[in-house]
Amino acid sequence: MANWLIVGLGNPGPEYAKTRHNMGFMLIDLLASRLQTQVKREECRSLVGRGEVDNQVIELAKPQTYMNLSGESVSCLVAKDNRSVEKLVVISDDLALPFGTMRIRPKGSHGGQNGLRSIIDCLKTQDFIRLRLGIQPEHPVGDVTRFVLDRFAKGDTETLEKILDESADAIETIVTDGVDAAMARFN
């Protein structure tokens, strides 16, 4: 039976560590902490760790290819033994969702998110689970690239911690009870 592969999107390096575009990496780090594992083994240009939820193996991955090339890493990871697109969950930030919200979908388009676009292009399918984390600004921004690569404001810390915690619960629900149950509970 295939293992779950949970991929958080982001950009490698300390300069990106706490930016809006790295919410996927932040959630992977929280899941690793909960599973008492580390995400540090190098595989397919990703850092990978392994844990268990409800006797199911979960592999956590943080592609190190930079956001726009995430598909290269993810397609390599999915092609390995004991992995499948059916048990792939991709975590990304989403400018169209209000900050502090999440959306789980069993499949769908990239919605303008370049990491998802790259994964869809490389896998040649949109049929994988995704968990999107809202980063929508309260006011219009002129430079979207700068906005997503900025760090969160100090006043956002509590909301950020809350949504990451809820999102970790959502990932665990996907693994234990399925995507439909997670959507019913968290969307």
CA pair distance 39, 63, nearest whole angstrom: 11
**Structure tokens of 134?**
């809202």
3-state class percentages of the chain: helix first, strand second, coil last, to nearest 5: 45, 25, 30
> Is residue 135 exposed (0-12), middle (13-18) or buried (19+ Cβ within 10 Å)?
buried
Nearest to 89 by CA among 115, 128, 127, 53: 128
Catalytic residue among 4, 11, 12, 21: 21
Nearest to 61 by CA among 85, 79, 78: 78
CA pair distance 130, 108, nearest whole angstrom: 8
139 as an active site residue: the answer is: no
Task: Check if the beta carbon of residue 49 is closer than 8 Å to that of residue 4.
Answer: no
Task: Check if the beta carbon of residue 13 is closer than 8 Å to that of residue 178.
Answer: no
Active site (catalytic) residues:
21
